[in-house]
Amino acid sequence: MSEGRSALKAVIENVERVVVGKREEIELSLTALLARGHVLLEDVPGVGKTMMVKAIARSVGAEFNRIQFTPDLLPSDVTGVSIFNQKSLEFEFRPGPIMGNIILADEINRTSPKTQSALLEALEENHVTVDGKTRALQDLFFVMATQNPVEYSGTYPLPEAQLDRFLLKLKMGYPSYEEELEILNRTAKHHPIDDLQAVLALEDIYLMHKEVHHVHVEDTIQQYILSVVTETRTHRDIHLGVSPRGTIALMKAAQAYAYVKERDYVIPDDVKYLAPFVLSHRLLLRSDIQMTEKSGETIIKEILQTLRVPLSKKEAVR
């Protein structure tokens, strides 16, 4: 197990050579990747979303595809299409970009709901249905979808129910002055992404997927997760709380994060740290609250500030 974890460290360092000062986001992305989840990135263009995904893909030796969502994009443009082969007189399936390992789905709120649901089905079911035929996706299938929060005209916001297909919702944010200076220095001659070598093979990732399942989650941690989730269901600012799917997601994310942090057990800090990323997009706030500055993230943080962190009992160990 320790081998895999030190390899992860190498991945993080590798990605950091390209993406400056985004260690948290890199770790979280890897967390989602290891938990077999997907990430929704909400940020303005040009802050390094593509670079990060590309760098991760290269570091793990995975196939990287990018889908630029536009209003006229069709579901088959995502999933692939069967074409009649004139030579063999048969329909031949041409796989779409979703058949890759690591996919950047850029600006998914720009495309029609029909295309969106094609993508979201893939996210949840890990397979796509084309021409009535179900086709499985790759074993390593990791989507990083981005949403532009600034422009609203001509967009199709994702339905709330579909948002919780994403394990985490992240924001990149602008780099600091020093970080941006560092970016300038690095990219002056040529882009560092071109030099990036794979430090892992896909098989390593499959192994890690299995290992993450064995990360220990103590009873008290589960209780803590449940207390957070339960609180969202009774909170007065929240119309609709976190579903059991969200509960599972929080635990899976905590396991994967503990693994990224080179531990084989989850601690309360993992849960506390991940809860805003895992839960905030799964909430439906009350309409009057939506008008205010209060976001799901701040409400989750408020809840965490009031909940008791359970310590294990003294008698737990003899």
C-alpha span between 246 and 228 (Å, rounded):
11
Q: Looking at the DSSP assignment, which residues form a beta bridge with residue 293?
A: none
Would you say 44 or 309 has its CB closer to another protein?
309
* Rounded Cα distance, 173 and 11, in Å: 22
Start-to-end CA span in the chain (Å): 27
Write down the least CB distance from residue 21 to another protein, Å. 21
Residue 254 Cβ, how far from another protein at the closest point, in Å? 11
Nearer to another protein, 117 or 222 (CB): 222
How far apart are the C-alpha atoms of 115 and 105, rounded to whole Å? 12
Cβ burial of 150 (10 Å; 0-12, 13-18, 19+) is: exposed
Task: Check if the beta carbon of residue 55 is closer than 8 Å to that of residue 47.
Answer: no
Q: Which helix (H) or strand (E) holds 307?
A: none
Complete DSSP assignment for 254-290: HHHHHHHTT-SB--HHHHHHHHHHHHGGG-EE-HHHH
Which range in 124-132, 166-174, 197-205, 306-314 contacts another protein by CB under 8 A? Answer: 306-314
Q: Which is nearer to another protein, 200 or 278 (CB)?
A: 278
Q: How far is CA 251 from CA 150, 196, 205, 255, 289, in A?
A: 32, 33, 20, 6, 28
Cβ proximity to another protein: between 112 and 227 the closer is: 227
Residues 265-304 within binding reach of another protein (CB under 8 A): 265-269, 272, 304
Nearer to another protein, 89 or 311 (CB): 311
Residues numbered 253 to 272 that lie near another protein (CB under 8 A) are 263-269, 272
Q: Which is nearer to another protein, 81 or 309 (CB)?
A: 309
Considering only the stretches 28-36, 92-100, 113-121, 308-316, report the one whose residues sit in contact with another protein under the rule CB under 8 A. Answer: 308-316
- Cβ proximity to another protein, 189 vs 308, nearer residue: 308
**CA dihedral of residues 170, 172, 176, 181 (deg, nearest 10):** 150
The answer to whether the CB of 233 falls within 8 A of the CB of 224 is no
- Using the minimum distance from each CB to another protein, give the nearer residue, 106 or 270: 270
d(CA 293, CA 117): 30
H or E, element range at 251: helix 244-260
CB of 33 to another protein, least distance (A): 23
* Residues of this chain, 197-226, that bind another protein according to CB under 8 A: 216, 218, 220-221
| Nearest approach, Cβ of residue 179 and another protein (Å) | 24
Comparison of 24 and 269: residue with beta carbon closer to another protein: 269
The minimum distance between CB 226 and another protein, in angstroms, equals 16
Tell me if 130 contacts another protein by CB under 8 A.
no
- On whether the CB atoms of residues 284 and 239 are closer than 8 A, the answer is yes
Both structure tokens of 251: 């635990």
Size of the site for another protein (CB under 8 A): 24
How far, in Å, CA of 297 to CA of 303, rounded? 10
Q: How far is the CB of 258 from another protein (least distance, A)?
A: 9
Applying CB under 8 A, the span of 122-130, 147-155, 188-196, 305-313 interacting with another protein comes to 305-313
Residues that bind another protein (CB under 8 A): 216, 218, 220-221, 263-269, 272, 304-309, 311-312, 314, 316-318
